[in-house]
A = this chain, B = another copy of it.
Amino acid sequence: MLIPETLQRAIDELSKLPSIGRKSAQRLALHILKSEVVDVQNLSDSLIDLKEKTKVCEKCFNISEEVVCDICKSEKRDKSLICVVEEISDVIAVERTNEFSGLYHVLGGVLSPLSGKDAESLNINELLARVKNGNISEVILALNPDTEGETTSLYLAKLLKQYNIKVTRLARGLPIGGDLEFTDEATIGRAVLNRIQL
C-alpha cells in the first residue's frame, strides 16, 4: 500500500498512545491533515510544554510548574490532613469532588510484587518523613479498592501507627447512581457490613 511516509510516521507515533489503536491513529492523523496549521502547532506546543515545563512537587509528588505545587503552597488548605493517592490522576479525581481541603501525597503506584513495585520504589519514606516532621493529625488512604490497593493500605496503616495519628481509608459501598441489581456481591457485601444508621 502506498501511504506517504509522513502519514505513516504520524500514525505510528499516535498509536503508541494508550487506548489509541491503528484505526484511531489513522483517523486522528487524517483529522490533523485537515486541520489548520496553527491548531496543529498549538497541539504540538502544548505537549512539549507539558513535558518540559512541569515537574513533580518535591513535597507531595503531584504535578507542578514550580518546585512546590499550588496545593502545597495554598494558604487555604488544611495542612494537618494528608490524602495518600496512587497517581497524579487520582489527585485530579479527588480535587474534582470539592470535598477535600487538605494536602496530598502521590505514592507513584502500589505494592505489587508481580510488576516489581516494592516499598522502596514508592514514595513511602517521604510520606513517613512528612508525618514525622509536620503537624499531621490524619492520613487518609485513598488507594484503589482492589487487592493491591488494600494490601498497600494495610502496609501503610501499620507503618503510620507509630506516629500516633488517625489513619483512615475511603468508605466502601454502593456507588451513587448505581443499580443494586447490577452491583457485584463483594460491593453489596461491604455495603451491608458498613451500613449506617439513619
Contacts and interface: CB of A to CB of B under 8 A. Distances in A.
B70 A6 contact: no
Contacts of A43: 13-14, 16-17, 47
Nearest to A31: B18
Nearest to A17: B28
Interface string A81-95: 000000111001001
B95 A7 contact: no
A178 interface: no
Main secondary structure of the interface of A (DSSP, over half): helix
Interface centre among A5, A10, A43 (most CB of B within 10 A): A43
Interface string A33-54: 1010101111111111111111
A2 B70 CA distance: 7
A96 B1 contact: yes
A5 B66 CA distance: 12
A1 B63 CA distance: 13
User: Among the interface residues A3, A47, A98, which one has the most CB atoms of the partner chain B within 10 A?
Assistant: A47
B33 A92 contact: no
A6 B65 contact: yes
Interface in A71-122: 71, 74, 87-89, 92, 95-96, 98
A98 to B, nearest CB: 8
A30 B87 contact: yes
Interface stretch (A19-27, A168-176, A190-198): A19-27
A2 to B, nearest CB: 5
A4 B64 contact: yes
A42 B64 CA distance: 24
